[in-house]
A and B are shown apart, each in its own frame.
Chain A
Amino acid sequence: MTGDSVGAIVVDFPSTAFSAEAVKRAAYALMARYDVAIGGDADVIRCAIRPAHPTVDMATAERDLRREVVDHDLRISIEQRTSPYRDAILGLAFSKTGLQDG
């Protein structure tokens, strides 16, 4: 256990299964309830969870983080796979508006 994780709930995510971006987004989304310190190495993304306030109940902290990471991993996957369509739709939406250069 590192100095960062003393007294914290530690949750590991295998780097092969989850992106660091998904973990960062999850930590961001949960910041009102938890302080999540992110570390790890090439194989593991390690999160140390602490309450953001003394009144925060930590009983569901690990489940909350795992669920949030899974959701964000899926969101990132959807974003990547639909990105060409997004660009095409915005291109069509802005065509002939006179708002573009050229």
Chain B
Amino acid sequence: MAKFRERADFDASPSAPYEMLPWRFTLLDQESYVATNMAGEYVLMSRSEVAEFADGRLAPATPLYDELKSRHFLIDADTDVALDLLALKVRTKLAPLANFTGLHIFVTTLRCEHSCPYCQVSRANDDKREFDMTEETALKSLDLVFRSPSRALKIEFQGGESLLNLPLIKFVVLEAKRRNQAAGRDLAFVIATNLAVLDDDALEFARQHDILMSTSLDGPADLHNRNRPRPGKDSYERTVDGIRRARRALGHHSVGALMTTTAASLSSVRDIIDEYIRLDFGSIFLRPLSPYGFAMKTKFYQSYDQSKWLDFYFEGLDYIIELNLGGFEFIEQYAAMVLKKMLTPMQTSYVDLMSPAGIAIGAIVYNYDGAVYASDESRMLAEMDDKTFALGNVHDHEFAEIMLGDALLDPLEASFASSVPGCSWCAFEPWCGADPVFHHATQGDFVGKKPLSAFCTRNMEVFRGLISRMEASPDVRRLFERWANII
């Protein structure tokens, strides 16, 4: 007679039925589906596996059952911690919401000496001082900055060309630091500049106050100068010289660069990436055009469609993957931000990938004239006479009026991805964002019809492309996991 009962007698799970926890599925390709739980963890399943699992017919003690169980897609008699763990992960994802607003954009001036046809911002000639922010407006804006609950406050100076109003930048930095002696926030500053007018005075001030520089670099000289005309046709030369001088003064990693994709860029993604590598940047953000400002007036936005951008994007991404697998570390930032949402319980601060939308609670804009906008794109819309996302004016409105007004709460509530058609049943929703400004600009309402939305179709293809690549190669999976934890 045996002393002990059989091992199976102690294992409740194989014979016990399971209960599904909330999950969603979306087609990955003709063969498989992506399934996600409430925290955005994903599992790939075939069509028959989707049906088996949903019907309660999935056999226990199989790899798929174990995978679904470990990722909190189901509970059975063997475990009762999935609900708590899932709730913890959901809570971690949502926690940053209470700490709004981290990024405060000061438009120091609309003046600019460039005349880029794709510019998202309406610009003024560089001798028109009426488009400069005044100290009075800056002081009122700072009142609002320090009302934000966020522990970390980043003030970014934008234009036009922000450095054309350097005195105002100096005034804001000194005043913000003075106020912060009492406020005790993690205070940081960024100057967004084309670097063409960068002088030693600005560099020395930036060095003294640990100010970061963010510039525009569209690629090699011919492409950059074609995209970014200025008197002298030397935008590229000035930008590269500015990057070199700023790095020398501020430190190598205190200078970042962003590129904009135009129709002229589409055949040159490797050249653009090579240019970033040649200039010793560790990453690139392959960005699409936005449907705002001069980009719309000059028909630049219509000059290529999403499929062409996606081809451009994936050619670039595959090239970057190839570089990494060959031993050269380099990051594509958009992929890294998406992967952070896919592979970790953390959120990204990138406004376009936030839901509730990042407008005003992720980043907020104080225009040169005191107008407060929900985002940089909202300001661009206002320049096109659409003031839907104008939240008030620093001279006329209090913090609560701006942050609790209908102009902000209505689009935030209406566009929340978990509750809108097309998103609420989409498996990619935990990774995606709500972009009421984009959908208002392109379709005339905060939600938009997702099947017709370039934002939706672009992101869905990016999600599918990232999953396909990491599922096809363990090396790519390891690379993507590294990116997800770096960015």
| Stretch of A1-9, A29-37, A43-51 on the interface side | A29-37
A31 and B20 contact, CB distance less than 8 A? no
B24 and A75 contact, CB distance less than 8 A? yes
A33 to chain B, nearest CB (A): 8
Interface string of B86-119 (1 = CB under 8 A from A): 1110110011001000000000000000000000
Q: Cα distance A35–B54 when bound, in Å? A: 30
List B contacts of A75 (CB < 8 A).
Answer: 24-25, 425
B307 to chain A, nearest CB (A): 13
A46 to chain B, nearest CB (A): 22
Q: Cα distance A24–B369 when bound, in Å? A: 47
Interface string of B238-272 (1 = CB under 8 A from A): 00000000000000000000000000000000000
B425 and A86 contact, CB distance less than 8 A? no
B-facing residues in A61-92 (Cβ within 8 Å): 71-72, 74-75, 77-79, 81-83, 85-86, 88-92
Instruction: Determine if B57 is an interface residue (Cβ-Cβ < 8 Å).
Output: no
Instruction: Determine if A17 is an interface residue (Cβ-Cβ < 8 Å).
Output: no
List B contacts of A99 (CB < 8 A).
Answer: 98
B458 to chain A, nearest CB (A): 13
CB within 8 Å for A89 and B421 given contacts A31-B449, A31-B452, A74-B54: no
Q: Cα distance A82–B263 when bound, in Å? A: 46
List A contacts of B20 (CB < 8 A).
Answer: 78, 81-82, 85
Q: How large is the interface on A (under 10, 10 to 19, 20 to 34, 35 or more residues)?
A: 20 to 34
Q: How large is the interface on B (under 10, 10 to 19, 20 to 34, 35 or more residues)?
A: 20 to 34
| Closest B residue, CB atoms, query A82 | B22
A-facing residues in B9-63 (Cβ within 8 Å): 19-25, 27, 38, 50-51, 54
Instruction: Determine if B422 is an interface residue (Cβ-Cβ < 8 Å).
Output: yes
A78 and B54 contact, CB distance less than 8 A? yes
A-facing residues in B442-487 (Cβ within 8 Å): 449, 451-452, 457
A1 to chain B, nearest CB (A): 27
A89 and B94 contact, CB distance less than 8 A? no
A92 and B87 contact, CB distance less than 8 A? yes
List B contacts of A90 (CB < 8 A).
Answer: 87, 90
Instruction: Determine if B83 is an interface residue (Cβ-Cβ < 8 Å).
Output: yes
Interface string of B53-86 (1 = CB under 8 A from A): 0100000000000000000000000000001101
> What is the number of contacts between chain A and chain B, taking CB atoms within 8 Å?
73
B451 and A28 contact, CB distance less than 8 A? yes
B22 and A89 contact, CB distance less than 8 A? yes
Q: Cα distance A74–B23 when bound, in Å? A: 11
List A contacts of B83 (CB < 8 A).
Answer: 85, 88-89, 92
CB within 8 Å for A82 and B449 given contacts A89-B83, A93-B87, A97-B91: no
List A contacts of B50 (CB < 8 A).
Answer: 74
| Closest B residue, CB atoms, query A96 | B91
Q: Which of B19, B90, B451, B457 contacts A89 (CB 8 A)?
A: B90
A-facing residues in B352-376 (Cβ within 8 Å): none
Q: Which of A25, A72, A93, A98 contacts B94 (CB 8 A)?
A: A93
Q: Which of B84, B87, B88, B422 gathers most chain A CB within 10 Å? A: B87
Q: Cα distance A59–B83 when bound, in Å? A: 45
| Closest B residue, CB atoms, query A90 | B90
Q: Cα distance A38–B255 when bound, in Å? A: 56
List B contacts of A74 (CB < 8 A).
Answer: 50-51, 54
B-facing residues in A8-32 (Cβ within 8 Å): 25, 28-32
Q: Cα distance A91–B83 when bound, in Å? A: 11
A88 to chain B, nearest CB (A): 6
List A contacts of B94 (CB < 8 A).
Answer: 93-94
A35 to chain B, nearest CB (A): 12
| Closest B residue, CB atoms, query A28 | B421
A28 and B98 contact, CB distance less than 8 A? no
| Closest A residue, CB atoms, query B33 | A71
Given A28-B449, A82-B22, A99-B98, 6 new contacts (CB under 8 A): A29-B422, A75-B24, A82-B23, A89-B21, A89-B22, A93-B90
Q: What are 5 A-B pairs at a CB distance below 8 A?
A: A78-B24, A85-B19, A85-B83, A92-B83, A93-B88
